[in-house]
Amino acid sequence: MKIASWNVNSLKVRLEHVLEWLDYEQPDILALQETKTLDENFPVDTINEAGYQVVFSGQKTYNGVAILSKEKATDIITDVPKLDDPQRRILGATINGVRVLCLYVVNGQEVDSDKYAYKLEWLEKVTDYIKVDHKQHQNYVVLGDFNICHTDADVHDPVAWKDRIFCSAAERTALQTILDLGFSDTYRQFEQASDSWSWWDYRGGNYNRNIGLRIDLILASKSLAEHCQRSIIDPEPRSWERPSDHAPVVATFEIEQ
DNA sequence: ATGGTCGGGGACCGA
């Protein structure tokens, strides 16, 4: 079972990229973030014609999440308890017995800003939900754009980024708290090349200079993680014309479907 | 060599 995640930075602009990528990668599940698409405008027919079903939670201009899957998604959630949030950043679904939680974590702008406080509160409420929901679903994947660099290995310049947004102690602790519920960062289960990033700033030719961050993660529950055979970042679509600033990430699990 | 959205200029958000 191949499970992927991609922040597409507007599905309208990136639809052809998504279709091209689905065609060659053939994931069973693809979680999208930053679709920036109202539900009534979601390209359901085009996705269906590509062989995928889809569920989504969108809004105008900002945020928006979706889950594409070859098999049917059930038990859809778009919100978690105690988080009354108009921002569409959360989408949970069960597919082939695997609970999938797609997250577009709050950016946070700057440490100690109002948005930073919202980021930490948002993470706390989502973590509370995962803790409860995981008890009912052994095979569980939390994936998406986390907007957190877990360790200095996930940052091109840890000195410059020290204690800044994405790298603050409170953000890293929040991510560790999710991992401590029994999740594994599948990417780090395998030996990886150094300087491997999932996001590169559009500015300054940063992709060609390989200056970036690893902020797009696929976390798997213990029962799934022990069957993870591969977890990679596919940088290729970042080199395509008019790309998303994020690359897709992919994890493969050897499990009964 | 800053992109996307909304809207029709430029502000806002992003990471």
What is the identity of the amino acid at A93?
A
| Nearest-angstrom CA–CA distance, A144 and A4 | 9
pLDDT given for residue A26 in this prediction: 98
Write down the mean pLDDT value for chain A. Answer: 97
Q: What are the tens digits of pLDDT across the range A38-48?
A: 999 999 999 99
Is-above-0.95 flag for pTM? yes
| Nearest-angstrom CA–CA distance, A55 and A72 | 9
Q: What are the tens digits of pLDDT across the range A64-81?
A: 999 999 999 999 999 999
- Protein CB footprint (7 Å) on chain B nucleotides: 1-6, 13-15
| Nearest-angstrom CA–CA distance, A32 and A86 | 18
A30 strand-pairing partners: A4, A68
Asked if A105 and A144 touch (Cβ cutoff 8 Å), the reply is yes
pLDDT given for residue A256 in this prediction: 79
What is the identity of the amino acid at A145?
D
DSSP letter string, A151-220: SGGGBS-HHHHTTSTTT-HHHHHHHHHHHTTTEEEGGGGS---SS--SB--SGGGTTTTT--B--EEEEE
How many CA atoms lie within 13 Å of A206's alpha carbon, on the beta-carbon side?
17
CA of A218 to C1' of B5 (A): 28
Comparing every residue's Cα with the C1' atom of nucleotide B14, the nearest one is A107
